[in-house]
Amino acid sequence: MKLAICAVGRLRKSPELALIEDYLERFGKAGRAMGLGPASVIEVEDKKNLGMEAEAALIERAVLPGSVLVTLDERGDLVSSPEFAARLGGWRDAARDVTFVIGGADGIAPGLRAKADWSLSFGRMVWPHMLVRVMLAEQLYRAGQILAGTPYHRV
């Protein structure tokens, strides 16, 4: 099962990048024995600044073929970490790859949002897209730990 985080904009060397790399590496290592992952980051960049629709076209080209399309959106579903883990486990059991899409400064174009299989919210507040990448990477690692039954996740 492959996972991709498809995001708008290039993340340069930064504390956020270090966190993302760390969580995704740990997720990949722990997930190998469970058929979870690996997870990679695919960055798209609208160099001409043509806006949300142009970004959406770039994102659609980068989506893993045949994958479950999940948009990260403050208007999406609010779920607990165990619920998120259960979804991930279900996709794994169904042999589905998953692409998570994080929008740029203007968000995700409505047309692309309408194509999503699921929309996930990290709360009703709007977070900077670089932080959303970090939060998603951590939740993937956490989900792997929940599915593995380790004590990392405590309620």
Phi, psi of 153 (to 5 degrees): -90, 120
CA dist., res. 75 & res. 83, Å (int):
18
Among 18, 40, 128, 152, binds ligand SAM (CB under 6 A): 128
Verify binding: residue 122, ligand SAM, rule CB under 6 A.
yes
Scanning the structure block, which residue is given the tokens 């400064």? Answer: 105
Q: How many residues appear in the chain?
A: 155
103 annotated binding-site participant = yes
Verify binding: residue 59, ligand SAM, rule CB under 6 A.
no
Verify binding: residue 116, ligand SAM, rule CB under 6 A.
no
Among 11, 129, 148, 153, binds ligand SAM (CB under 6 A): 129
CB 16 within 8 A of CB 131: yes
Can you give the binding site for ligand SAM, defined by CB under 6 A?
72-74, 102-103, 105, 107-108, 121-123, 125-129, 132
